[in-house]
Amino acid sequence: MGSRASFPIVPLSEDRVIMVTGANCGLGYQIAKWAAMMGATVILACRSVDKARAAMEKMHEEFKEEKTKGTSNMTEKSTLCLEFLKVDLGSFKSVAQFCEDFKKTGRPLHVLVCNAAKLLSVMKQSGLDCRIIFNSSKAERFASFDIENISFTGTKRNYPVHSCYNQSKLYQIMQMFAMSRRLTGTNITVNSLHPGIVETEIWRYSHSWMKRCWIFIARCFCLTRTPIYGATFAIDLVVNPKHAGVSGLY
């Protein structure tokens, strides 16, 4: 592994079910791939079938490469346990359908990376050490809590991408604290993290020249991270046995 990552590579059982939302690229891709390479069953919750299929193929190829390199503690199996479930997180209807689809599989759920609180009922019945992890961001520092405008009600044309993003990250952290408090004494822990400034596809949404200048400067000073380095913190939260029982941390 060299200096790329600091999460432990622990053998995970195929019975351990880990769901990662937005797993077809960026940080989600790395989290899903590494959890699967350690042996867990990983469900990629994505909105595009084609992108999810392509991501799963790429994960299998990279798994073979990792085996050739001799990376230790990876699953003995020749293929990864990957599954896909469609969800558009921008639509409550789709999220509700997705939750129903997952419940119909009859599977337990041990780790949920991102969010889908409606699956709490499944996690509560999935045994010890279940974890919810929010991929949050320090962008929350630029947000203000606006009770009058919790969700944006304007048109697509005047949608303030950056301020809505900052607010969503603040709400995510507030949700983490609230859920962690409510789930005290249960089998489920809830934590969130900031992955750093990571060179993923997220920057495709940045149209403002200020943001582009900022990224350029960050690159010049080597402040940006690769997707695997950015995903390290989340992977550690997903797999590291020492985090069992730890909850309510950002």
Ligand X SMILES: NC(=O)c1ccc[n+]([C@@H]2O[C@H](COP(=O)([O-])OP(=O)(O)OC[C@H]3O[C@@H](n4cnc5c(N)ncnc54)[C@H](OP(=O)(O)O)[C@@H]3O)[C@@H](O)[C@H]2O)c1
Shortest Cβ distance from residue 15 to ligand X (Å)?
26
The residues of the shown chain that bind ligand X, judged by CB under 6 A, are 22, 24-28, 46-48, 51, 87-90, 135, 137, 194-195, 197-198, 200-202
Cα separation, 20 vs 192, in Å, equals 14
End-to-end Cα distance, the chain: 26
Shortest Cβ distance from residue 200 to ligand X (Å)?
3
Shortest Cβ distance from residue 109 to ligand X (Å)?
17
CB nearer to ligand X: give 48 or 208: 48
CB nearer to ligand X: give 27 or 38: 27
Cα separation, 248 vs 174, in Å, equals 10
CB nearer to ligand X: give 161 or 244: 161
CB nearer to ligand X: give 48 or 121: 48
CB nearer to ligand X: give 202 or 246: 202
Shortest Cβ distance from residue 11 to ligand X (Å)?
26
Residue whose pair of structure tokens reads 């990792």 in the numeric block? 66
Q: Which residues, in sequence order, are CB contacts of 192 under 8 Å at separation 6+?
A: 133, 134, 135, 136, 172, 173, 176, 249, 250
Shortest Cβ distance from residue 88 to ligand X (Å)?
4
Cα separation, 196 vs 148, in Å, equals 30
